[in-house]
Amino acid sequence: MIENPVLRGFNPDPSFCRVGEDYYLATSTFEWFPGVQIFHSRDLVNWRLVARPLRRASQLDMRGNPDSCGVWAPCLSHADGKFWLVYTDVKRLDGAFKDAHNYIVTCATIDGDWSDPIYVTSSGFDPSLYHDDDGRKWFLNMRWNHRPAGSGLNPAHDRFDGIELQEWHPERGLLGDVATIYVGTSLGLTEAPHLFKRNGWYYLTTAEGGTGYDHAVTLARSRSIYGPYETHPNQHLMTARFAPGNPIQRVGHGQYVEGPQGEAWHSYLCGRPLPGPHGLFCGTGRETGLAKCVWIDDWLYLEGGGLLPPATLSGPARLPGPATTHDFAAELPPEFQWLRTPCPARIFQMTGSALRLIGRESLGSWFEQALVARRQEHQVYRAETTVLADPPNWQRAAGLITYYNRHKFHAALITHEPAFGRCLRIVSCVGDTSEALTFQEPVALPDGPITLTVAVDRATQQFFWRADGAEQPLGPVLDASVISDEGGRGEHASFTGAFVGMVAHDLTGQGWSADFTRFSYTALAE
């Protein structure tokens, strides 16, 4: 059975393509490195991470990128015997301006060494590359408008100034004039363009309504690639905006794929909201779902009708997932990522028996932070790590963290306080734009390795610790809803997802280190 979301945890903006019998989904990674996640499946049920193609500084360097910037909305395609990946590196989020630089990389194999990037344009974000059947290639993106209200083409939202199209050639770059082919519907915030062709029609998939609870997939068609494009009779192909009680919300931003036997599929991003102390929140971030579709009168509709994609679809059995307990005896397990830097040797090393984190800048840094983590994929889970750390003063610390961004985290840190010596304390930032930290009282620690655990149950979380004896609670029950898009007291709703992992910092700049000998992540009944 296909159970939505098919890619759980932070996996938004799914670009969908098929090569023969093989399906591929590429998702955004924002400020997490390496850039872009690419998954493979043959049955649409069992998906395996096969590539993070942006691995070199020449392809992606996000040091200094603010939270929720970095790699937005990749587009994955296959033509001319190779894979093509289009992506944006966003350098600014807040305010009127968006510095959004769009690039293309290629590779003969999905898991190979991808090329250095070709720069295309910075006029907007959500880039897409369409390979027409006459051999020409077309580059699309939404255009950003920083000017005052009333200057945009769509009065529903001035900043989102329409979908622009221009021919592109691998050697000669952009060709001819740029054309605005679609300005969207009354819902506004029109973005995420993807073109495909069927029965002589060009179809344009877009996302509208923003990444929150008004999100939608909007479809339009034209006989000419330049338009004019006629909007779908239902306006949207799918959305959950009219079904607030549905367990899957925030439905939008996806791409069409036709199966080997002509089956029609469409990917979409979504969220699974939970009630929290401050309202609904999506603890697992923006995720990826799949919908089965049908063609009626050359228009695409959800199979079964309506606008709400179902939570389950018929399909083969799900195979057991990969191991979730690691002793770090070899290379870093594939589910882990780090923040921003293309120079991982400066923030961690694999010693053969541990993951050694080299303490760098603070938990609020946008540049070089020794934080290695994996996605929260479940609403109820338990994560555990064992740490060897003997910090000489309070400026060094290492431990276990639940993390969304520099405004939103809870960390159980081994540090050193003059009145306690080696000790353990919780440090939190709960979404205040002032980045104010809160500290729980330290707990004195014995010598030797310390095992730290966090148990997350929807909107709450609790840290625990143990040395040689029984596990003991650390500090109070904390608000886990902070670690989400919607969480926080002053921070705007962002659009990435929650992580849990290991962290170290050295605020003296001397590169003090701590060893993590194991890490486990266990999903619990929801």
CATH code, domain with 120: 2.115.10.20
Same domain, 392 and 496: yes
What own/partner pairs with CB < 8 Å and gap ≥ 24 does 199-207 have? 199/298, 201/298, 202/229, 203/256, 203/300, 204/163, 204/229, 205/237, 205/254, 205/255, 205/256, 205/266, 206/163, 206/182, 207/126, 207/252, 207/253, 207/254
Same domain, 260 and 346: no
Q: What is the pLDDT of residue 350?
A: 98
What are the C-alpha distances in Å from 139 to residues 35, 170, 233, 256, 283?
Answer: 21, 11, 26, 17, 34
Same domain, 363 and 332: yes
> Choosing from 3, 368, 417, 435, which is the catalytic residue?
368
Q: What is the pLDDT of residue 149?
A: 84
Q: What is the pLDDT of residue 318?
A: 87
In a domain, 108, yes or no: yes
Same domain, 291 and 410: no
CB contact set of 487 (below 8 Å; sequence gap of 6+): 276, 278, 281, 404, 408, 430, 431, 479, 481
Q: What is the pLDDT of residue 31?
A: 98
In a domain, 319, yes or no: no
Same domain, 156 and 130: yes
Q: What is the pLDDT of residue 489?
A: 63
Structure token pair of residue 242: 């009219």
Which of 252, 286, 313 delimits the end of a domain? 313
Tens digit of pLDDT at every position of the chain (526 positions): 999 999 999 999 999 999 999 999 999 999 999 999 999 999 999 999 999 999 999 999 999 999 999 999 999 999 999 999 999 999 999 889 999 999 999 999 999 999 999 999 999 999 999 999 999 999 999 999 999 888 888 887 789 999 999 999 999 999 999 999 999 999 999 999 999 999 999 999 999 999 999 999 999 999 999 999 999 999 999 999 999 999 999 999 999 999 999 999 999 999 999 999 989 999 999 999 999 999 999 999 999 999 999 999 999 888 888 779 999 998 999 999 999 999 999 999 999 999 999 999 999 999 999 999 999 999 999 999 999 999 999 999 999 999 999 989 999 999 999 999 999 999 999 986 667 899 999 999 999 999 999 999 999 999 999 998 899 999 999 999 999 999 876 444 568 999 999 999 999 999 999 999 999 999 997 7
> CA-based angle 268:274:279, to the nearest 5?
110
What are the C-alpha distances in Å from 465 to residues 302, 392, 394, 438, 468?
Answer: 49, 20, 19, 20, 10
Say how far apart CA 100 and CA 114 lie, in whole Å.
21
In a domain, 347, yes or no: yes
In a domain, 320, yes or no: no
**CATH of residue 397:** 2.60.120.200
3-state secondary structure of 156: coil
Same domain, 405 and 510: yes
The values of phi and psi at residue 481, to 5°, are -70, -20
Which of 284, 313, 342 delimits the end of a domain? 313
In a domain, 318, yes or no: no
Structure token pair of residue 63: 């040091």
pTM: 0.97
Same domain, 414 and 335: yes
Q: What is the pLDDT of residue 321?
A: 81
Same domain, 368 and 457: yes
Same domain, 284 and 366: no
Domain tally for the chain?
Answer: 2
DSSP per-residue letters across 290-339: EEEEEEETTEEEETTSSS---SEE---PPPP----EE--SSSPPTT-EEE
Annotation says 368 is catalytic: yes
Quote the domain boundaries for residue 343: 325-523
Which of 286, 313, 340 delimits the end of a domain? 313
3-state secondary structure of 505: strand
Same domain, 305 and 399: no
Say how far apart CA 126 and CA 100 lie, in whole Å.
9
In a domain, 505, yes or no: yes
Same domain, 340 and 417: yes
Say how far apart CA 430 and CA 439 lie, in whole Å.
11
Same domain, 23 and 113: yes
